[in-house]
Structure formats: C-alpha cells, structure tokens
Amino acid sequence: MSYSIPRRPRRNRQSSAIRALAQETTLSVNDLIYPMFIVEGSGVRSEVKSMPGIYRHSLDTLLEELKEVTDLGIKCIDLFPNYSEDKKDKYATESYREGTLYLDALKTIKDKFPDLALMTDVAMDPYSSDGHDGLVENGKILNDETLDILAKMAVAQARAGADILGPSDMMDGRVGFIREALDAEGFTDVSIMSYSVKYASAFYGPFRDALDSAPRFGDKKTYQMNPANVREALIEAELDYQEGADFLMVKPALAYLDVIKTLNQNFDLPIAAYNVSGEYAMIKAAAQNGWLDGDRAMLETLMSIRRAGAKIILTYFAKEFALLQA
C-alpha cells in the first residue's frame, strides 16, 4: 500500500464545519420574493388545489398572513389578483379602475407594512376576458395597442404604493414605455423587474388555475419565448437593459438554469429567477406521496437556482424556507 493521493477533495467535506467553510453558494431569506394571491371577499383562505400550501386570500386574511410572513423575515412579496369573470373585459379596464380590489389591497398593505417591498404584475391576463396578456383583435395579440393600458396599470400601481413593477407579458417595448410613464408622473423611484426572458412553458399551469386566467383560445407562443432558444435571451435582456430595467428575470427557473447563467455572465444588473407554480407543484406532489423528502428537495432546488447565478428567487417556497430557518 504505497499509493499516495496528494490531492484529496474529500478533506473539504469531512465535517459539517469544514463543509460550511468550503460552501460556495448561500441562500438567505433576503434573496426571496414570495408570490401571493388576493381574491375578493372576506374571511377567504382558499387553497389552490394544484399548489398545496398556497392560498387565495381575501384582504383581511392576507393581512394576517403578512404579519407572519414579515415576522419570518421575508422582505418582498409579489401580489397577484384573482378576479371573477364578470370583472373581466377585452380592455382589462378593471386593472386601473380607482377602487378596484388589487389597487386597494396594495394601498392597505403598504400602509400596514411600510417596510415590506411590494412587487406587482403588469399584464392584462388576470383582467382580460380573452385570458391573454395583450389586447386581442381578430385572434391576434396586438403589441403597441396594449402599451397605453399597461402604462395606466403601471402608474395606478405605483400610486397605490408598489415598489417594484413586473411587466410580465413578454411583448416588445414594455420597459421603456412604462419607465417613461412612471417618470412623467413623478415615480422615478419605482423599480422595474422585467420578465426579460419568459418562456412559453407548461409549468405555469397551476398559476393559471389560481387566477382562472388561462387563455381562452390558442397559446402564448407569439409573445413568450421558444424553450429551445438561449441566444434570443440575450437580445431580450439587452433591450430591457437599454430601456431602463433595474432587474432582469428569467422564468421558469429549473428548466432554464443555463439561461440564468448566461444572463448573469453578460449583465451586471441583479438577475432574478421565477421558480414557477409547476416547479412548486412537482415537488409538493412527490413529497405528499412520500416519494421525495420535500424539505431537502426544496433546499436543493433553491440552491441550484442561486448557484446558476440568480441573486433573487421568486418562489412559493419562501415562507416554508423561512420557517425552516427560524
């Protein structure tokens, strides 16, 4: 037995203390944004069937939940509204109507939790009778004609107290148009986290259940990106960078870790990744069946997204992660 192995990587894995020293990537509640759903009514806390542990809250129960969530150290939420069919129309007029559920909720939340960063979604789909992110005419999803609606929505959300706006429709010219509208109204401090690279993905299914917002016809392939492409991601990210985005997002996260890495290598803005509803649902379903250790799978998943290069992760696991750390 004279064989000598001078370089032994296992030495750096021999104890928990040494493993902690050698750990390259970290994950903290500071990195997370918690997406949450609001619905009309009071006393409502209805679980999204395909997203165990995630609820549509009415404002009163949402405020109770936010007390818990902020006490756990979560510093940012991304709020999405669920509107009933009768509130939806072709022009998504409900999205900027004074007194509407979503805007009132933002105001109340900002008032009660002034230190919580509030992120919003700027897209037509939750308010659109067509279930598309843009204005539909003769079966076509229009690009420029949607801009004015989005600008009204954006300014109304800023006025209601939003800190970070998330234009999520993946169409052209959004960030620049919204930036100009915000600045013209004096909201120069309101940030934009652009859904820069958002793919036409099967993994949004549970989210569309949560909001009843699935497209009424066709799919979103003329605006969301082809999952086969990564060079195109650089074009999208570059445009949003030029147009003034403060954060660049990749969505979904897990099937697109290479895209996260590519963006992180090419842009100096903070990169965010959206660990979407279907990614959450897969782990939850397997854990409920006893097929996976849910906590470990969650931690490994979130760490992989950070390791790929995302500084920020939007994730339905945020509260569970925070509870594990507490």
Two tokens at 60? 């009163």
Distance, CA of 179 to chain centre: 19
CA distances from 189 to 173, 182, 185, 316 (A): 20, 9, 11, 27
User: 32-39 and 76-82: which strand pairing?
Assistant: parallel
User: 164-167 and 140-141: which strand pairing?
Assistant: unpaired
Return the number of the residue (52 or 60) whose C-beta is nearest ligand PBG: 52
Closest contact distance (angstroms) between CB of 72 and ligand PBG is 21
- From the CB of residue 117, how many other CB atoms can be counted at a distance below 10 Å? 15
Q: Which of 26, 73, 35 is nearest to 317 (CA)?
A: 35
Report the residue closest to ligand PBG, judged by CB: 207
Closest contact distance (angstroms) between CB of 107 and ligand PBG is 22
Closest contact distance (angstroms) between CB of 316 and ligand PBG is 7
Closest contact distance (angstroms) between CB of 35 and ligand PBG is 6
Return the number of the residue (69 or 266) whose C-beta is nearest ligand PBG: 69
Return the number of the residue (107 or 208) whose C-beta is nearest ligand PBG: 208
Per-residue DSSP letter, 310: -
**Which residue type does 163 have?**
D
Closest contact distance (angstroms) between CB of 56 and ligand PBG is 14
**Which residues are near ligand PBG by CB under 6 A?**
121, 123, 125, 133, 168, 204, 207-208, 220, 276-277
**Which residue type does 140 have?**
K
Q: Which of 221, 203, 222, 38 is nearest to 126 (CA)?
A: 38
Q: Which of the residues 88, 251, 284, 319 is marked catalytic?
A: 251
Catalytic residue check, 251: yes
In whole angstroms, give the CA distance from residue 141 to residue 169. Answer: 11
Distance, CA of 188 to chain centre: 22
Return the number of the residue (20 or 65) whose C-beta is nearest ligand PBG: 65
Q: Which of the residues 198, 220, 284, 319 is marked catalytic?
A: 198
- Sheet strands (E) in 115-268: 117-122, 136-137, 140-141, 164-167, 191-198, 247-251
Return the number of the residue (92 or 182) whose C-beta is nearest ligand PBG: 92
Catalytic residue check, 75: no
Q: Which are the catalytic amino acids? A: 198, 251
